[in-house]
Structures are given as C-alpha cells and as structure tokens.
Structure 1
Amino acid sequence: MRTEITDLDHLRAAPDLRKAVIVGLDLTREDVRVPMDGALLLGCTLSETMQRRAEAAGALIFPVIPDVPYDVYRSHLYTPGELFAGFDPADPRTYADTPDAVIYRHSKQQGHHPDPLHALAERLHDHSITEALDEVLTGRPVAVMGGHALARGSDGYRNAVELGAALGRAGLTVLTGGGPGAMEAVPLGVRCGSADADVLAQLAEAPSFGGDDESIGRWLAAFPEVPSFEVPRTIGIPTWFYGHEPPNPACELHAKYFANSVREEGLLTVATGGIVYTPGKAGTVQEVFQDFTQNYYGSVGPAAPMIFLGTAFWTDEVPAAPLVQKLAAGRDAERWILVTDDVDEAVALLLKYAGELG
C-alpha cells in the first residue's frame, strides 16, 4: 500500500519515501535524503537537483499539466465554496466566472474525443477524486436517487426534504447525485433536520433554473445558510458531463467527475448501506438496474437494500420494482428489496441492514 503525502511536514517527517505518492508539493527548497525508490510524484515542483535525485532512485514524475482550469492531482473533494468561488449573490451573472462554470466550458470545448493531453488530465483528476472520496467515507453510506427536475416549492421537493431529515435523524451519511431537484432536497433535509417552512419559502423564490448562467446564478443565490456537521454527512457525486446542471449548494462536499460512467458506477458502489429510489425518469431507472446487477452477482460485496419509495410510481407508472423483485427471487438480494410509501419503514430497513453487517 502506497503512503500518500500532501504536505511538507509529513514529507519531512517520513523516514522512508519508497513507493510513496507525493502530491502537489513545492520541493524546490527541500533537501530530501531518505530513500525514494519507486516513489510517485504527482504535480510537484522540483529543483534540478531534486529531479536528478528522484530519477536516479527510479521515481516516476508526473508534471503539472498546463492549460487546464482545475487541479489534476487534487487530494480532497470539492466544497460548494470552492466550486462557486467568486459568485456574488447580488449579481447572478457572476456564476459564469466560478470554477464550476469555467471547468464545464473547458470540458465542453474538448468534445467527446479530447486530445490525449486533456483526456489524460481528466482521467487523472477523476482518479484523484475517487481516492479522496474513499478517504472521506465512513461506515455504510446510503444513497438517494431521484429526479433532477423536481422544482423547489413542489410537494415532491418537500417530501424529499422530509426523507433527508429522517435519514439524518437516523445518523446516516447520505449520498446523492449532487445536482438539483431531489439531489438537493435530500441533503437539505439531512442538514436542517426537518422541512423548515422558512427555508422552503426562500428556496421557492427560485424554483428552478434555465439554460443560461444568470438563471443558474439566481437559483444559487436563493439558497439559505443551513447547518453543517463536523464530520461531513452529505456528499454529492455530480459530473461535468451534465454540467448544464450545477452542483447543489446543500451537499457539504462534492466528488465531481468528468466521466459520467465512472461517476455512476462509483456512486452505486460506495453506497454500501443501500439505496433509496424516489420517483425519477430514465437516469434513475438506469441506476436501479445497474445497482441490481451489482447485488445480483455480488460483484462489490453483499447485496444491499434497494428501497423503492413511492408504491404507485414504481409498480404502475414505471414498473421497475416488480421486475427487480422477480429477478431477485430466491437470491440473497430478495430480503433487502422494499416497495413502500412509508419513510419510517424505509429507514428501519436501512438500520436493520447496518446492524446485521456491523
């Protein structure tokens, strides 16, 4: 197992750097004398002497990649403050200059087939995000999936807030896709602890956004101050592939990816405590069967709860639940599939699963 080093104090205290991963450090003034055979230096700045010493030891040096508006080798997840840095709520147009918007425009300019330099930069970034996400997650996180189009002020949005509040009261770490709609409402409920009428009224002033930066800025500016936790309990996993949908400000942290396929698979895989499916369309249905495939084959661990919240929707309007139940018959996954309208019943199943697996 490689040791990751992201600050100079840790570097200076290390008695041995063999096979260490050293990320983003300025080593131009460092006199490293300990063994560093097979070390991996990602985005570090080196003096000529330091570079010769590293190369002589067989270290691999990945330089800073120029002309990209993001940190390729970042060692931590994004906060909303980082993604929306420079945004002025009094001037919604300033969203266009935030890192989130700038990175999206840059990624879109590369098209579906970026040149090798930018393709490599995006893949290295996404690997770094996966590593950072693994560092943050504890216990058995629960994911909630649902529609991105759910408008603030709607009954569905309020229901999703109440679901988040129930999950939060149960002490669960909650993951969502990190975008708008249900993906915002659920972490908002976790953090507020209830469907606070004043908070919901303020949000309803900007129920949704259009396709321009100013509209997104107005949507963002309507979000109120809400409590946070000492240890993050709400994490979004969005993607710049759908960059026209901004990450929501409700999640405490965001693991934002370029590759949607990596993001989708990763979100389902790290939700080891189970997944709650609220009503959604094609994207949510895709996640249902991608998740069930993991549970069916046990490819990423024991089968985890799949909870379909909204009986009429999941059995009649979009009848995914009966098919999943039929496929699961006689397998380990069968006992962890629930179709219900009762949030308390859903939470009880999640807690039962966590209790059995420890």
Structure 2
Amino acid sequence: MQSSGTSVGQGSPRGGRTAPGGPTGGEVRYGRAEGLRPGGSREIEDQHAWERALRAPGPLHNLRLQGLDLREHRDLLLARDDLSDIVVLGGRLDDEVEDHLRSHGSIVFPADPRAPVDPYRARLYTPQELYAGLDDVGYGHTVDARAYAWSRDASVQHDAYVTALRAIHDDAMSDALAAVVAGRRVVGVMGGHALRRGTGEFAAAAVLGHRLASAGMLVVTGGGPGAMEAANLGAWAADEETLTHALEQVAAVPDFAPDVAAWVAPALRLRRETPTGGPHRLRSLGIPTWFYGHEPPNAFAQLVAKFFSNALREDLLLAHSRAGLVVLPGAAGTVQEVFQAATRLYYEVDGDGRPLPPLVLVDREHWTTHLPVHQLLRALGRDRAMGRAVHVVDTVEEAVEVVVDGTAVSR
C-alpha cells in the first residue's frame, strides 16, 4: 500500500476512505477485504446441497460444483438442460454425465493424477492426513512431503494447468478457512521456527497458547515448528497437567532436523493416546505453506490450512487474527510479518468503527535492543489509532492480559 495525497471530497480507490489530519493530510485508509467471508451461495460443496439444487424449480445457471460425485442423482442431472455457465471443479463423473454437461455449456475441470493433493477439496486438512503413511513408508512418501516435491518439480514449474490447479487449491483452502473461523475470536501467534523443544522459551510459548485457548480464543499460528508448534501444543492441551506431560514428551526430540518422522512421532502419539486430555472444541489452527516445505507442519494444530502460495497464507493469517496478534521473538520472517501487520494497523484495515486489534511484542529486550522494531512501530503509530494498538511486554502472561482483558501493559 502507499500513502496518497487524495484530498477529502475527491474519493478514494478500492473503497478506501480519506481521513483528515494525520501525517499526510488526506491519507487513504483502506476498508476490510470482503474476500474473508466463506464462498457464496453459488458454490456447492456437499451432496445434499447438490440434490436440493437439482430438485429445485429454479435454474441451475452459474453454479460452482466443487469435489462432488455427480454420478449420484445422475438421472436428475441428465433430465436438465439449464447447465450453462456451471463450472465443475474435480469430483467424480462418468462419460455420459460429462458429455451432457459439456454439451449444455458447462465447463469441466478434470483432476490431475499427478497431483498429490485434491485441488478441489472443500475442507481443511488434519495433521493425520498430511502425515498418513509416516510409520509405513517414511516422511518422504506422505501427502505433505509429496505436495512439497510437486511444488518444486521443475518439469511442471511453468505448466499453466498445474499453476491453475494450485491456485484453485489455495482458493478452496481460503474458503474452508473462512468458514471455520467465522464467528470466533481469533488470535494469531507468531515467532521463530528455530525455537527448540525442551527450552524455557518453548514452554513459555506453550503456556501462551494454552491460556489464550482457555480464555475462549481460537489460537492461529503459521503451523510450523518452533514457537508455532509450542503455541499450538499449548492450545491443544485441555489442562495444565496435559500440557506439562506433552512438553516432557516432545523434549526428547528437540528439532525436526535431521529426522522429521522422529520429530513428529511424539505429537501424533500424544494425540492418539490423550483423547480425554485433548480439546473438546476447536482451540487452534495452523496455516503453513509448501513454499517453506523444508519446515514440516506441526501435529498439534487441530486443523491445518496449508497453501502453495506463501503470500496468500501470510495475508490470511493476519487478516483473520481479528482479536489480536502476539509476536514472540523471531528473526527475518517474523519481522516481515510484524510489518505486514503494522501496515494493516496503520491504514486501519480492521477498524470498521471499532478499536484496532492489539499487536503485542513479547520480550522487550529482543524487540527494543536486539531488533529495535518497537521504536519504529511507535513512530509509525504516533498520533494515530495504531499507536494505541501496539504493545511491548516482558512475559507471555502480560501478553495474555493485553489480548484477553484489553489491559494496556506497556506501549
């Protein structure tokens, strides 16, 4: 985004609004993107909805059929000819059904047998899906590893059809994610991927996730190792006894390198063996990317929205964190995400007439001396609503107070 010299009364681009005063006078502030809502009524993703549409007296024009088995209710479909502008995204259909659809103006996107994931799936992943086959054939043959290899395969790197399939996959993930988080108090937790299990810092990040989830928040992370795994682990643990036990179990394998299977095994085992200690409601999500496929997804996130596009993934993680963002110590990647969040705060993208969500930096020494990010954020927020949204604290307990209670610990 860029500053604008548009004056009040001239209007503003893309639904933005001008704000008198501030550092640049008539500066544009941008409204919230509408695309964060689940897909519209044109998209049909389950068999019951498809049957209802077929039996309804109204026209079927301009629908999007995603991942359906069109062999079901085929007689109802073959009896209709109002099929123009229907787009069929994957799913199952026989030759007669496909010929009927195409002859009446439908567009059919076939599946690609080389794709290790279903580009048209209408739901988020689970860690168990991504790691299926781990014990039998090793990590390299899991869905997660094969999807990463597909994303890096030079032979299809510039294949327009494969590029389209990945984009369709990510759009489907975006819709599924929006449906899952709708109506929930979502708080994002970010931090370095290099944080090792068994350290005090890892335990503190887990406590953060646990307390946020216990306060009714949905904890969302980048879905990878390090601080992200710790926060998802903490949110997964239903009580402090389970949390302590889980931290002890995973500490035996501090890092995912050199053996991803050994690293993820304790987490998968804990999830199998702790049915009563696990959550009874949705407490955490992971939003990783195959762009960083060398960093495996952690298995403590209850659901996983995994994307091929890192840019889309980062934007959605920040956009959905409407209840606040807590940032643990990290390096370049974490700093980049901090300033992406700062841009949203600066332009009041998430304002909508309400206070901006808090951005909480944890570890004052790290964010003011080691990486002096806080000073720049404070300067950007001077005389703006952003200034009241940025906090720097010393402990995760203080961060929880800011997000849950709205306590202004420090700016």
TM-score, structure 1 as length reference: 0.90
Q: 1:186 aligns to what? A: 231
1:38 aligns with 2:85: yes
Q: 1:219 aligns to what? A: 263
State the alpha-carbon separation in 1 of the partners of residues 162 and 204 from structure 2. Answer: 41
Q: Report if the CA contact (8 A) 1:150-1:181 is conserved.
A: yes
How far 1:306 sits from its partner (Å)? 0.4
Q: Report if the CA contact (8 A) 1:170-1:347 is conserved.
A: no
1:25 aligns with 2:68: yes
1:229 aligns with 2:259: no
5+ unaligned residues in a row in structure 1: which ranges?
none
How far 1:251 sits from its partner (Å)? 0.3
How far 1:116 sits from its partner (Å)? 1.4
1:4 aligns with 2:4: no
1:327 aligns with 2:380: yes
- Stretch of structure 1 that moved more, 31-40 or 115-124: 31-40
**Counterpart mapping for 1:1-358 below 5 A:** 1-14=40-53, 15=56, 16=58, 17-28=60-71, 30-31=74-75, 32=77, 33=79, 35-55=82-102, 57-88=104-135, 94-110=138-154, 113-138=157-182, 139-192=184-237, 193-194=239-240, 196-211=243-258, 215-223=259-267, 224-225=270-271, 226=274, 227-302=277-352, 303-352=356-405
State the alpha-carbon separation in 2 of the partners of residues 293 and 206 from structure 1. Answer: 37
SS in 2 for 1:291: helix
State the alpha-carbon separation in 2 of the partners of residues 50 and 237 from structure 1. Answer: 37
Equivalent residue letter for 1:348: E
Residue 351 and residue 243 in structure 1: after superposition, are their counterparts in 2 closer, same or farther (change >3 A)? same
State the alpha-carbon separation in 2 of the partners of residues 101 and 277 from structure 1. Answer: 28
Q: Which has the larger radius of gyration?
A: 2
Q: Report if the CA contact (8 A) 2:222-2:287 is conserved.
A: yes
How far 1:260 sits from its partner (Å)? 1.0
How far 1:60 sits from its partner (Å)? 2.8
How far 1:134 sits from its partner (Å)? 0.6
How far 1:307 sits from its partner (Å)? 0.3
How far 1:57 sits from its partner (Å)? 4.5
TM-score, structure 2 as length reference: 0.79
State the alpha-carbon separation in 2 of the partners of residues 352 and 168 from structure 1. Answer: 14
Q: Report if the CA contact (8 A) 2:204-2:396 is conserved.
A: no
Q: Report if the CA contact (8 A) 1:2-1:19 is conserved.
A: no
Deviations 1:123-161 (A, max 9, x none): 111111111101110323100000101111011101101
- Identity of matched residues, %: 39
Deviations 1:144-183 (A, max 9, x none): 0001011110111011011111111211001000000110
Q: Report if the CA contact (8 A) 1:207-1:219 is conserved.
A: yes
State the alpha-carbon separation in 1 of the partners of residues 172 and 233 from structure 2. Answer: 27
**RMSD across aligned C-alpha pairs, in angstroms?**
2.2
Equivalent residue letter for 1:297: Y
State the alpha-carbon separation in 2 of the partners of residues 336 and 187 from structure 1. Answer: 24
How far 1:301 sits from its partner (Å)? 4.4
State the alpha-carbon separation in 1 of the partners of residues 150 and 109 from structure 2. Answer: 22
Q: Report if the CA contact (8 A) 1:304-1:333 is conserved.
A: no
How far 1:58 sits from its partner (Å)? 3.5
SS in 1 for 2:167: helix
State the alpha-carbon separation in 2 of the partners of residues 156 and 40 from structure 1. Answer: 49
State the alpha-carbon separation in 2 of the partners of residues 253 and 67 from structure 1. Answer: 25
SS in 2 for 1:220: helix
How far 1:59 sits from its partner (Å)? 3.0
SS in 2 for 1:144: strand
